[in-house]
Amino acid sequence: MIKKKAVTMVFAVISSLLLISGCSGSDDASSSSGKTIEFMHLWPEGSSKQHNEIVKEIVADFEADNPDVKVKLEVMSNEQYKDKIKVLSTSNELPDVGMTWAAGYLEPYVDGKKFAPLDDLLEGDLKDSFVSGIPEAYAIDGSTYGLPLELNIASVFYNKKIFEENGLEVPKTYEEFQSVVKTLAKNDVAPIALGNKDSWTGSLWYMYFADRIGGGDVLTNAINRSGSFTDPALVSAAEEVQSMVDMDAFVKGFNGLSDEEAKSMFMNEQAAMYLIATWDLPNYTTNEDVPQEFRDSVGYFPFPTVDGSGDMSSYVGGPGVGLFVAEDSDVKEEAKEFVSFFVKEWGEKSVTEAGVIPATKVDAASLDLPDMYVNVLDDLNNASNITLFADVQMSADVAQVHLDMIQSLFGKEVSPEEFAEKHEEALSK
């Protein structure tokens, strides 16, 4: 009997000990053979196959060049990534290198001194390699905390086949655009695919109206408080959004659809147009998983002018994800080296292998690229202005109000005036 008791006691003690030690975090023993850079990114094999492979290639190249440094990868999908990075930063366990977004997203991390400034890279190794003005979106108080990888501008993609069947021309003005929408709606074709559950998609429409009616600065000024959301141009932009809704311009139930669902409607030829940024280019050019026939039938046009005003070479867009280096990383120097290496190789490989537009300068002449890709590059080079996505410009709590309000505006639950007031309220806090 006593023996039995002893056994159970030992068991209880061991299991408690296991439990305690399990919670005390793990230290990697691998550090003995050199240094390890932890790198977390958001391109899983399933949904971003090409991106994922490029990362692996770059890491392999880097490890070959630097035999004493290992790169440990951790991959997560977009939303999970955002959650995890926040939890990790709360407990001071950020990876050495990771991905961040610009402006408003970056701010709390910089305020909390979580990211290291990367100015030395910009002035040294990577001098003049970025498209001018783009790294500035990652700058706070004069220092740059992230190096952008992607650059995007939003355009209206359309289905040439559907346009032909309905005898339509690419619209240059808003009046023409409206008549296109009306013809399509009359012929029982859904004019525009929009997944406004993710509301940044609807925000693109609002931003373009604001840009065409009030010019490139009016929204940016309203956000940085040198202007106001009650500006007549911004109010009439909101009015135009609602008049589009009244015309049945968007697919049914857009406020309950995700962007993915809207995209699949466009790609299944159930809707004629789709306003999205150029990160979707591969789907219309090089992606072998999309039928050739469909890729050939997609064209794009810049957002039309509204009531004769607006500059068609002014775009909504901006850099997508960028790389950061953690401030309290043990291998900061190596991490910076890796970031610099990554940005350079990404600039070449992302063009040819993934078909997306990098934030670094592209030498289009020396590469064999799809026509649409070359045209978009031209647009970018000739852009008179790129307004950064509104929800990226704003701090997180204001962005949340903006996105909620966009849904209400499209759902006609608020008037354009209320829409403006709510923004003013949130921004003045």
Residue 82 within binding range of other proteins, rule CB under 8 A: yes
Under DSSP, the state recorded for 371 is H
Q: In the complex with other proteins, which residue's Cβ is closer, 151 or 390? A: 390
Q: In the complex with other proteins, which residue's Cβ is closer, 97 or 257? A: 257
Measured between alpha carbons, how far is residue 418 from residues 219, 220, 336, 399 in Å?
17, 19, 46, 16
Question: How many separate helices (H) and strands (E) can be counted in the chain?
Answer: 18, 13
> CB of 109: closest distance to other proteins in angstroms?
6
Residue 151 within binding range of other proteins, rule CB under 8 A: no
Residues 53-86: b if buried by 16+ CB within 10 A, e if exposed: ebbeebbeebeeebeebbbeeebbeeeebeebbe
Q: In the complex with other proteins, which residue's Cβ is closer, 270 or 375? A: 270
Instruction: Indicate the SS3 state at residue 131.
Output: coil
Residue 257 within binding range of other proteins, rule CB under 8 A: yes
Question: What is the amino acid identity at position 365?
Answer: A
Residue 404 within binding range of other proteins, rule CB under 8 A: yes
Please identify, among the stretches 110-118, 169-177, 321-329, 365-373, the one whose residues bind other proteins according to the rule CB under 8 A: 110-118
Residue 86 within binding range of other proteins, rule CB under 8 A: yes
Residue 15 within binding range of other proteins, rule CB under 8 A: yes
Residue 228 within binding range of other proteins, rule CB under 8 A: no
SS3 per residue for 42-108: CCCCCCCHHHHHHHHHHHHHHHHHCCCEEEEEEECCHHHHHHHHHHHHHCCCCCCEEEECCHHHHHH
Among 20, 29, 64, 365, binds other proteins (CB under 8 A): 20
Among 45, 397, 417, 425, binds other proteins (CB under 8 A): 397
Measured between alpha carbons, how far is residue 131 from residues 46, 146, 278, 358 in Å?
30, 14, 16, 9
Residue 89 within binding range of other proteins, rule CB under 8 A: yes
Give contact residues for other proteins (rule: CB under 8 A): 5, 8-9, 12-13, 15-16, 19-20, 23, 82-83, 86, 89-90, 108-109, 111-114, 190, 196-197, 199, 251-258, 261, 265, 270, 395-397, 400, 404-405, 407-408, 411, 413
